[in-house]
Structure 1
Amino acid sequence: MSPPLRLHYLLAIFLAASATTANAHDEILKNWFNDPFIQVRSNVPDCPQPLGPLVNEEEARRESHWRTERGTTCWLAGQCSKPNSYLYDAPIAKSVATHFAAMPEFAQASSLWLTFQRRFVWVEGCSADPAIDAAALEAFVRAEPDVERVIVNVRAPGAAKAPYALAPPR
């Protein structure tokens, strides 16, 4: 292959790869699996919203097999009465939301979002109150029946960066 032809060939490959990358970044993010995602506190106005369960179509396709496998493992191991651990998420979300609405804990100086996936609950957001710590939030959410694990990622006062992936700007 002559040098000018090779250069054109490489340029064509580069442009095709760039177009593919640009399309992936421009792709719309969706909650493909309908995982519960709720905001339970909103008193820190500059708190960035977490990404939560939003993924692009390619990520959803990659996750679908894994989710099926992980969801049924609980039932096959005799640890769940429902045939898929994701079937617990909507009732857990409703119960946790009711618990937050009825209790004053964490209401004064926090903005919190919750994501529910296969009996796991992610608590993400901000707290302007140093008394609100991860252990207290974890205990509060874990008190709900059927919650298997609680993961807390909350930005502390003065922190420059959120400890969680951010939702795209609206």
Structure 2
Amino acid sequence: MLQARRFRALLPVLLAACAMPPPAHGEILKNWFNDPFIQVRNAVPDCPQPLGPLVSEQEAHRESHWRTERGTSCWLAGQCSKPNSYLYDAPIAQAVQAHFAADPAFARSSLWLTFQRRFVWVEGCSADPAITAAALEAFVRAAPDVERVIVNLRAPGANKAPYPLVPP
């Protein structure tokens, strides 16, 4: 029952990610909304950098209404004290970055984190087969105000990254 609830809660996020078309060749990608995007580990040299919050200008225009709606719905539902859930992202990013800096966990990995409306995407690669998505999720969830953690980790020996990449 809990798994079904989690899936239903994540379904809109997954559908939105699938609906985003890849950028056209030569299109400039930018972090138009200044979402925090940080690298916290860098031990796997061949780990490709995730796309993170980079989008084209056209995609930013398409996302702007959706982001406004999603950002304020938390406050309107009485689930946030701040008027927009995106206002939590910078403090969450600072707390998570400090947690990684203070703890040597996941040292044999390369990890990037994207923060959007209290959700944290953890993307990267691991050279350690013992590193699990559940362990990364628990580590990041230790920060206050984190609502969800989505982990997309390329396992040792895998060729393809399970996340969108920065175009060459």
TM above 0.5: yes
Within a 5 Å distance, the mapping from 1:31-70 to structure 2 comes to 31-70=31-70
Residue 116 of structure 1 corresponds to 115
Residue 161 of structure 1 corresponds to 160
Within a 5 Å distance, the mapping from 1:1-170 to structure 2 comes to 24-107=24-107, 109-169=108-168
SS at match of 1:26: coil
Q: Residue 24 of structure 1: CA displacement?
A: 3.6
In structure 1, distance between residues paired with 2:125 and 2:24: 29
Q: Residue 25 of structure 1: CA displacement?
A: 2.3
Larger radius of gyration: 1
Consecutive unaligned residues in structure 1, runs of 5 or more = 1-22
Consecutive unaligned residues in structure 2, runs of 5 or more = 1-22
What do the CA deviations read for 1:27-57 (whole angstroms, capped 9, x no partner)? 1000000000000000000000000000000
SS at match of 1:49: coil
Change (3 A) 1:137 1:79: same
Q: Residue 26 of structure 1: CA displacement?
A: 1.4
Q: Residue 160 of structure 1: CA displacement?
A: 1.2
Residue 4 of structure 1 corresponds to none
SS at match of 2:123: strand
In structure 2, distance between residues paired with 1:118 and 1:168: 25
Q: Residue 95 of structure 1: CA displacement?
A: 0.5
What TM-score results when the alignment is normalised by the length of structure 1? 0.84
SS at match of 2:40: strand
Read off the aligned partner of 1:118 and give its amino acid letter. Answer: R
Read off the aligned partner of 2:97 and give its amino acid letter. Answer: A
In structure 2, distance between residues paired with 1:124 and 1:26: 24
Percent identity of paired positions between Structure 1 and Structure 2: 86
SS at match of 2:25: helix
Residue 14 of structure 2 corresponds to none
What do the CA deviations read for 1:137-157 (whole angstroms, capped 9, x no partner)? 000001110000000000000
Read off the aligned partner of 2:27 and give its amino acid letter. Answer: E
Read off the aligned partner of 1:59 and give its amino acid letter. Answer: E
Read off the aligned partner of 1:137 and give its amino acid letter. Answer: L
Read off the aligned partner of 2:56 and give its amino acid letter. Answer: N
In structure 1, distance between residues paired with 2:104 and 2:131: 12
Read off the aligned partner of 2:58 and give its amino acid letter. Answer: E
SS at match of 1:112: strand
